[in-house]
């Protein structure tokens, strides 16, 4: 296998810049990938995870940063895309020291990158970051605090689901639709709540029995075992747990008509798009659908009213309808055209917004 070439990889993803910080004293080893600041500061979460190698951590940051640019541009936000990755030390470590050092790393970029929450980091971490830099969003204490974006993400997913049902299953109503939710954590729980309020039949599956049972009790949801999920008949399958769950194997098993969920990077690889076509399953591209959280974080950071967030989330419905229509006229599925659409918008949009 050829050796990994960092700069080739960055070029492949049209990445604008990459920053590294190693701090022996705290133990911080982190990467910040900025895909683009063309439309505004690069906003994206900070992931803390155990990586097999620095190469994997850098790849993760670069790939995820591009996704953030696409997500922002598709919902018309004056933001760029970036992502931070902290390589979790093996063994015991001083979390506070690492987060403080990371906050300084973010601060040194002088607003080119705004950090937020991602898997492995918490609101408490962000509250620490906010003590050192203003370039943070999604924290709960201090200036520009926003709190949990998950209800907003769930509302956006619901809007997108409605658009997909309207386009691909016309004449169907919530009362005669079954939605299967994989993962009822922060987003999945709210999604179940909203679907219950609309009268849909809900099936949930979660590795946490407590999380699944809560939905059974509160929303009359049926619970299925995680090993049975891809064999469970439903109209809409909603992955709200992990990325990479749509594989050729899982899609072939899945008796669903639409896939619409909040998880990032649901397609395990691009070959899955062909499998989805063969199985006649309509997959709604994740980064258009799950932008509600980013919209809320943006509004909180720039001190805009949450009514603005709500209005922007409502726009997910017509945006997706437009994408579905375009895909039909080009005789392709939405997943085949969405990156091209995002890239075109990225090269067109020229709004630059500096934080207040
Ligand atoms: P979360 O960790 O709160 O919830 C995930 C849930 O999935 C947990 O209850 C967990 O027990 C469950 N789970 C894990 N593995 C599972 C499996 N194999 N089968 C079934 N359930 C499983 O996360 P979240 O904040 O709700 O986010 C869910 C997904 O949406 C993630 O992929 C996240 O990246 C994405 N996302 C979240 C937001 C947000 O606002 N929170 C925004 C955009 C995208």
Q: Residues 114, 164: one domain? A: no
Q: What is the mean pLDDT of each run of 10 residues along the chain (356 residues)?
A: 89 96 97 96 96 96 96 96 97 96 98 93 94 95 87 97 97 96 96 98 98 98 97 98 95 97 94 97 97 96 94 98 97 95 83 49
At residue 296, the pLDDT reads 96
Q: Which residues of 264-288 are buried (b: 16+ CB within 10 A; e: fewer)?
A: bebbbeeebbebbbebebbbbbbbb
> Which residues does the annotation mark as catalytic?
83
- Same domain, yes or no, for 178 and 227? yes
Nearest CA to ligand 1 atom 41: 150
Question: Of all atoms in ligand 1, which is nearest to the CA of residue 245?
Answer: 18
CB distance 103 to 133 below 8 Å: yes
List helix spans (H) across 19-174.
Answer: 54-74, 95-108, 123-129, 150-168
For residue 22, is it within any domain? yes
Segment 75-87, tens digit of pLDDT: 999 999 999 999 9
**Boundaries of domain holding 10:** 6-130
* Sequence-ordered list of residues with C-beta below 8 angstroms from that of 170, at least 6 positions apart, any chain: none
Check whether residue 116 and residue 244 sit in a common domain.
no
Residue 282 lies in a domain: yes
In this structure, which residue's CA is closest to atom 4 in ligand 1? 185
Alpha carbon distances (Å) from 32 to 122, 228, 256, 287: 18, 38, 38, 20
Instruction: Tell me if 150 CB under 6 Å of ligand 1.
Output: yes
Same-domain check for residues 206 and 275: yes
Residues 100 and 249 in one domain: no
Give the per-residue pLDDT at 148. 85
Atom 32 of ligand 1 has which residue's CA nearest to it?
Answer: 263
Same domain, 121 and 214: no
Global model pTM greater than 0.85: yes
Residue 290 CB–ligand 1 contact under 6 Å = yes
Token pair recorded at residue 176: 């005669």
The whole-number pLDDT of residue 356 equals 47
Pocket test for ligand 1, best of 68, 72, 123, 186 (most atoms within 8 A of CB): 186
Please tell me the distance between residue 234's alpha carbon and the centre of ligand 1 in angstroms: 20
pLDDT of residue 348: 82
Q: Within a domain: residue 307?
A: no
For residue 122 and ligand 1, the question of a CB distance below 6 A is answered with no
Question: Which atom of ligand 1 lies nearest, measured to the CA of 205?
Answer: 20
**Which pLDDT does position 13 carry in this prediction?**
94
In a domain, 283, yes or no: yes
User: Ligand 1 pocket, 207 CB below 6 A?
Assistant: yes
157 & 120 share domain: no
């Amino acid at each position: 296998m050829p050796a990994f070439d960092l700069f080739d990889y960055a070029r492949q993803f049209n990445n604008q810049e990459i920053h590294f910080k190693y701090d022996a004293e705290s133990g911080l080893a982190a990467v910040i990938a900025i895909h683009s600041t063309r439309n505004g500061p690069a906003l994206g979460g900070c992931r803390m995870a155990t990586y097999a190698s620095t190469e994997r951590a850098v790849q993760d940051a670069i790939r995820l940063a591009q996704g953030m640019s696409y997500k922002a541009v598709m919902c018309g936000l004056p933001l760029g895309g970036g992502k931070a990755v902290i390589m979790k030390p093996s063994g015991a470590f001083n979390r506070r020291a690492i987060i403080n050092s990371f906050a300084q790393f973010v601060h040194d970029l002088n607003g080119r990158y705004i950090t937020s929450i991602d898997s492995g980091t918490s609101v408490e971490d962000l509250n620490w970051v906010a003590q050192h830099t203003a370039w943070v969003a999604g924290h709960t204490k201090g200036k520009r605090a926003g709190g949990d974006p998950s209800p907003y993400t769930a509302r956006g997913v619901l809007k997108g689901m409605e658009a997909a049902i309207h386009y691909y299953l016309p004449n169907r109503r919530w009362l005669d639709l079954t939605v299967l939710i994989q993962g009822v954590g922060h987003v999945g729980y709210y999604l179940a709540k909203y679907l219950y309020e609309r009268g849909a039949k809900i099936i949930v599956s979660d590795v946490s029995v407590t999380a699944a049972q809560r939905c059974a009790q509160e929303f009359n949801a049926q619970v299925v075992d995680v090993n049975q999920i891809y064999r469970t008949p439903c109209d809409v399958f909603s992955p709200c747990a992990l990325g990479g769950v749509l594989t050729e194997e899982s899609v072939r098993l899945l008796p669903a008509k639409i896939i619409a969920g909040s998880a990032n990077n649901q397609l395990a690889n691009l070959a899955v798009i062909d499998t989805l076509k063969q199985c006649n399953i309509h997959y709604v591209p994740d980064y258009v659908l799950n932008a509600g959280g980013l919209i809320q974080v943006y509004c909180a950071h720039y001190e805009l009213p949450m009514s603005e967030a709500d209005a922007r989330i409502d726009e997910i419905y017509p945006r997706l309808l437009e994408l579905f229509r375009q895909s039909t006229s080009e005789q392709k599925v939405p997943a085949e055209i969405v990156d091209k659409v995002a890239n075109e918008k990225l090269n067109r949009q020229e709004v630059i917004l500096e934080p207040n």
